Structure formats: structure tokens, C-alpha cells
Structure 1
């Protein structure tokens, strides 16, 4: 019996380790589908077009916005990011669980359009560790670094709008928590009505 997949939104401040968590989660749960975002940000060392992001220019991005091709989009740290709507919808219809690794602005848009999505906020252990992680990237200017740290302090306040919060301190433990959340959500009665109805027969209507 086919059922619609779950939309899982991961977001949090820059430096929280969202990308690393997603990578490890996908290794443990290969059935999950990661939606690759479109961005006008220049590639960082090691990033691959179509795998890390779909890299494009601002003109083309704005054309995609006009055509309604994004589930959500936002301008973050002077660059545009967006989630391709068609890709997400096709996989959800196939019963696959899709992960969106997006910023807080984008998550708010998704919540308006897809209130049944699962929203998970990723936090660093503390601000100092967040600063260290951004520095280790080696891709940020002093201006960009200061902007990301300042924004992070404000973005942390947004976690109260999420369903779950996971502190990314010990990577292995954080990944296990994400797995646990996904497994628990898959077991919710509201997501399994047809299957449970077959078990109950006519004795208990759901």
C-alpha cells in the first residue's frame, strides 16, 4: 500500500553542522532523499554542482522565482537559495521521505505551505564552537564571518517554532537522534490510517 512520504526540514544557524549531519544520516538511511537546493553562492572547495547545490547566477534564479519553480526561496548572506518544487513533490508522491536542509527564512515558508512537514532545528553546542566551525571552513571573509555570527545569535531564537531541537555536539549521537525522530514520525497514527484500518477491520474506525 503506497502512502505519501514525509517532508523533513532541517535548519539552524550557519556553523551548526547541518550539512555534515545530513551526509551521515543519508549514509545510515539510504532510503531518504535529499533535496538539492539552487543557489547563487559561489561553490566552496570540494562542492560539486548538482550534488552539493545547483549553482546558478542571480538572473536565472529570479526567472525561476517568477515561474513559481520553488517550494521556498530566500536571500541569505547576500546570496539566493531555493528548493525546487517539482523534485520534492514527485518524490513525496512516490512515498519517499524527503529532507530539506534549508535556512530559517525558507523553513517559515515551508511551514506556511506544508504544515504537516516535520521541522527539526540543529544547534551548535555553544557560540564559540559555532565560530570555530565557520573559521575551519576557510571560505569566509572577515565581513562574512561577522555577519554569520551576528545572524546566528538571532536565528537561535527561532528554534521555538520547530517540532524538535537537536544539539550537534557529538556527531554520532546527533545522527541517532535524527534517526529516532524520523522513525517515531513514521509510526504516528495520522500517517498510517489506511494500514491501521486494515488491522482493525470494521471494529474501530480511524
Structure 2
């Protein structure tokens, strides 16, 4: 029987490069499971691969217990499917792009939750958000304002500076995934 897998919440401000690092880390380590998010926006909206649903479908997922973790941010609803429980039970490490606002809920359900906080300076965040072209100036300003939100106390947090190259950020992320030594 394999050991229980570990759950990693990858969080940080918009534009910090969470999706970029997650994608590259999973390419480098195919044994990792990246939880696909359920989001109340059209699937063709760009960015990460996700399951786009409307409000009614999201509510149905919640009611049926198909979401392990869920939250609201930026006028949207986000969820992580409860199917991650099978991956964790099978000994696979699971990473999900989460929200700092959902960490307490996630830690209550998954006491071994580990937090990877992806950071970058405000000017880097501004450049990245402007370049992706999904938000207007007011929306970018709101995302930058939210960037200062902290992590709830008591959770194990590993901060990863992603202000440099993708390769450097991925190396830092992969290093943070190494098992703790006794």
C-alpha cells in the first residue's frame, strides 16, 4: 500500500505566474497531479485549462458534494473537484491553483495541506497582467490591491520568488515539493 499523497495549494497574487509554474512543474514531474479547476466563466476565456460552468452547474456540483474546496474571487466562483481524494489516497502528490481566501477551508478538510506562495514585485505583476489582456485597468488595479492579502496563521508556507525566468521559478517550485527530511 502506498503512502498518502500530499496536497499543495499554489497561491499568490494574479500575475505571479502560478499557472506557468504549475504547467512546467507537471511537465518536469509527470508523477504530479494538477487539479483542474471548475470556474464560472466560459471555457474559452483563456489562461489555464479549466472546466467552465454556469452558476447553476456550479451549485449542482456543490450540492452533490463533487467539490472538495470552493471560493469566490474577482466576481467568479472557483472549485477543486473532490476527485483529488482518490489521487491523494493512491499516494500521488496533488497541486492546485488556489486562493488565499480558501486556505482555512482547505486545511480543515486536508490537515496536511502545504502552501506554496508564489510572489513577484508589484511592477512585475502589473506588466504580466497587462500583457495577458484579460482585464481592464480597473480590474488590474483591483487584482494588485488584493495582492497584499496574507496567509492564515498556522499553515506551513513556502514562499517562491517568481520575478525572474520561468526556469528559475520552476526550480524553486520543484525544490519546495521535495519530501521533508526527518
Deviation, structure 1 residue 159: 7.7
Alpha-carbon distance in 2 for matches of 1:147, 1:17? 17
Alignment of 1:43-122 (within 5 A): 43=43, 46=46, 52-85=49-82, 87-122=83-118
Q: Deviations over 1:22-44 (max 9, x none)?
A: 01101111110100010002345
- In structure 2, relative to structure 1, the CA distance for the partners of 1:14 and 1:177 (3 Å cut) is same
Task: Map Cα deviations across residues 114-148 of structure 1 (whole Å, 9 max, x no partner).
Answer: 12122111101x10110111000011123322221
Higher-Rg member (1/2): 1
Cα separation, 1, equivalents of 2:175 and 2:152: 19
Q: Give the aligned partner of residue 151 of structure 2.
A: 158
SS in 2 for 1:184: coil
**What does residue 143 of structure 1 align with?**
138
The structure with the greater share of residues assigned to helix is 1
In structure 2, the CA distance between the partners of 1:15 and 1:105, relative to structure 1 (3 Å rule), is same
**Superposition deviation, residue 46 in structure 1:** 4.9
CA distance in 2, matches of 1:175, 1:184: 16
Q: Is the 8 A contact 2:43 2:51 kept in 1?
A: no
Worse-superposed segment, 5-14 or 104-113: 104-113
| C-alpha distance after superposition, 1:73-122 (max 9, x if no partner) | 1111000000001x201111111111111111222211122121221111
Distance (Å, rounded) in 2 between the aligned partners of 1:159 and 1:184: 23
Point out where structure 1 has 5 or more consecutive residues left out of the alignment. Answer: 190-206
RMSD: 1.9
- Please report how far the alpha carbon of residue 174 of structure 1 lies from its aligned counterpart in structure 2 after TM superposition: 1.8
**For the Cα contact (< 8 Å) 1:121–1:159, is it kept in 2?**
no
Could you say if the C-alpha distance between residues 44 and 107 of structure 1 is closer, same or farther in structure 2, counting changes exceeding 3 Å?
farther
- Count of paired positions: 180
TM-score normalised over the length of structure 2: 0.90
